[in-house]
Chain A
Amino acid sequence: MARIDVNHIRHSYLPNPQKDADFALKEVHHTFEDGGAYALLGPSGCGKTTLLNIISGLLHPSHGQLLFNGKDVTRLSTQERNIAQVFQFPVIYDTMTVYDNLAFPLRNRGVPEADVDRKVRETLDMIDLAELAKKKARGLTADQKQKISLGRGLVRSDVNAILFDEPLTVIDPHMKWVLRSQLKQLHRRFGYTMVYVTHDQTEALTFADRVVVMYDGEIVQIGTPAELFERPRHTFVGYFIGSPGMNVMPVAIDGKTATIGSQRIELPGVPKTVTGNTGAGAIELGIRPEYVRLGRDGMAVKISKVEDVGRHKVVRANLEGREIAAVIGEDEDVPADPKVRFDPVGINIYADSWRVEMGA
């Protein structure tokens, strides 16, 4: 196991990158602590797989340095880095049995056959394929095949890190849940450093201790699931995490007051750097639907629709010409003359899409 330092890494797939837009990874600087379970979360094309492949050595970065436990491995090959990686689509060696598939990475490294046998049997039990050990891998179903891929990632105990590239995409929802909890258990038991790429927020939030949110080739926020929810550092994190995403609306700020159209909203504090600074670009107020209180007092809204999603209701409404969403309890009713209030705890202020701290 190892601590992984990603040291100012930039990567472009073009031979001569000039502009920022030429880079698939703009600049990533981050440390994955030894034994941590990380999720790389972001939409398709944000550079998460690029970053993962740079860590595993399938790609060599255009700029920057990669350190494993302080040792520079930037130019080392995948084999020399001793990394396990599981891919989005199952990769199996068709002509081998399930057992031989799992033994393959060990045998390639000249592990004695007795150890191979012990490790493979352990892993087979872990992924619950023990009774298929002697079968040819090609006849299996997609999720069994993906379990073999997972197994090949887990069979070596001496790896520096295990990387997962959206490994559960092809697996059906129930099995997903089971496998994810197994991975989590394995992590607790063996303390592997795990990096898990996904674009599914539930997957990221349930798997990881710390979630790394990426957007457009950059890391926009790193935090625990709660931090990402309460204090999104970037409006993108607000949109991307939570269902429905955060309400974001342009406001004018004056001291402790924000103005939307004719409405005035009391802020919990004075946003730093915003007051009196007109050059800061677009100022926006973000509030999660969970903190929008629907009731008989506050700002008048027009309700456009109410979606009952089972555990709660999502109310879509119009405030001063802007769409906003609010979450109310399953048993609550929408009042006849609806008004909304923003809970100050849930208010965040953004300048140029980045969150600004609030002063007293």
Chain B
Amino acid sequence: MEKTWNNKAWFMVLPVLLLVAFSAVIPLMTVVNYSVQDTFGNNVFFWNGSDWYTEILGSDRFWLSMVRNLIFSAIILVIEIPLGIFIALNMPKKGWGVPVCLVLMALPLLIPWNVVGTIWQVFGRIDIGLLGYTLSALGIDYNYVNDPTDAWVTVILMDVWHWTSLVVLLCYAGLVSIPDAYYQAAKIDGASRWAIFRYIQLPKMNRVLLIAVLLRFMDSFMIYTEPFVVTGGGPGNSTTFMSIDLVKIAVGQFDLGPAAAMSIIYFLIVLLLSWVFYTVMTTVDAEG
């Protein structure tokens, strides 16, 4: 087919380009600006080249927080995706149970991040928290303030509580879109419960699962508010994730240059990993 060139089309996309420029590109460029210069205030800048990048990439602190992030995201995905699928499979498909379940599932998603953090911060306290107090009363040595493992368990539980619903709702949407005829045919074909899941439900959930994995990965990789409220990154640095570290550098120490360089690296990592996930999952989808 002959391609038609019409330069007027550029005018049509101009408003969107401007909007994106103001909302994303320009703020991003100011960060780039900080990351290659040094300043001592008064709007005086000195060209610094790639120094901040070298400093960040050469620091153990950066790599340690990144490893924490990767481990955290991995655990989150391993728990939330299967759990979400499992809950979605067991939710009612019709009747009064549907709205009840949907509302219950949506509740955690409606709570602001810092409130979720506060809820769990109180919930886990051994002096007044329901969870912490009960565990202590049962003789289990649980204290998220002192013990790094307990802190991790608390932060992960909190994230599972907060975000599994998202996976559930996405999977549920995928499941209810499967026509009845598929289940009827499966009965006729004598398929087992597992075969129905493997060959009908899972393939039909493929696309929504891709979205669920991407969203949960990006979100958990950028997690900030909840662990900040609960543990403040501690004990020690055990729950200091990249975003928490970033804020410490930028706001705590007011090292704008290194913080900007770290932001750019952080952004590129999220972008790269999301792209990898997307490519891998869509390729599997096309073959599978």
Contacts and interface: CB of A to CB of B under 8 A. Distances in A.
Given A95-B288, A96-B199, A105 B184 contact: no
Given A87-B181, A89-B179, A95 B188 contact: no
A41 B203 CA distance: 36
Contact of B181 (A79, A91, A93): A91
Contacts of B182: 91
Contact of B188 (A85, A94, A96): A85
Interface string A63-104: 000000000000001110001110111010111100000001
A83 B188 contact: yes
B192 interface: yes
A147 interface: no
Interface string B189-211: 11110010001100100000000
Given A94-B203, A95-B203, A108 B191 contact: yes
A174 interface: no
B187 interface: yes
A109 interface: yes
A149 interface: yes
Contacts of A95: 199, 203, 288
B185 interface: yes
A76 to B, nearest CB: 12
A58 interface: yes
Contact of B184 (A77, A84, A85, A153): A85
Of the four ranges (under 10, 10 to 19, 20 to 34, 35 or more), the interface on chain B belongs to: 10 to 19
A56 interface: yes
Of the four ranges (under 10, 10 to 19, 20 to 34, 35 or more), the interface on chain A belongs to: 20 to 34
A341 to B, nearest CB: 51
B195 A108 contact: yes
A152 interface: yes
Contacts of A108: 189-192, 195
B188 A56 contact: yes
A104 B189 contact: yes
Contacts of A78: 187-188
A57 B192 CA distance: 17
Contacts of A94: 203
Contacts of A77: 187
Contacts of B187: 57-58, 77-79
Nearest to A96: B199
A53 to B, nearest CB: 8
Contacts of B185: 85, 87, 91, 149, 152
Contacts of A53: 184
Interface in A93-137: 93-96, 104-105, 108-109
Interface in A9-64: 53, 56-58
A57 B187 CA distance: 9
- Residue among B188, B191, B192, B199 with most chain A CB within 10 A: B188
Nearest to B188: A85
A104 B182 CA distance: 14
A58 B191 contact: no
A84 B199 CA distance: 19
A84 B188 CA distance: 6
A93 B200 contact: yes
10 contacts: A58-B184, A58-B187, A78-B188, A84-B188, A89-B179, A93-B203, A95-B203, A96-B199, A105-B190, A108-B191
Interface of B: 179, 181-182, 184-185, 187-192, 195, 199-200, 203, 288
Given A79-B190, A91-B182, A91-B185, 5 more contacts: A57-B187, A88-B181, A108-B195, A149-B185, A152-B189
Q: List the 7 closest pairs (A to B, CB-CB), nearest first.
A: A91-B185, A105-B189, A108-B190, A78-B187, A93-B199, A87-B181, A85-B188
Interface of A: 53, 56-58, 77-79, 83-85, 87-89, 91, 93-96, 104-105, 108-109, 149, 152-153
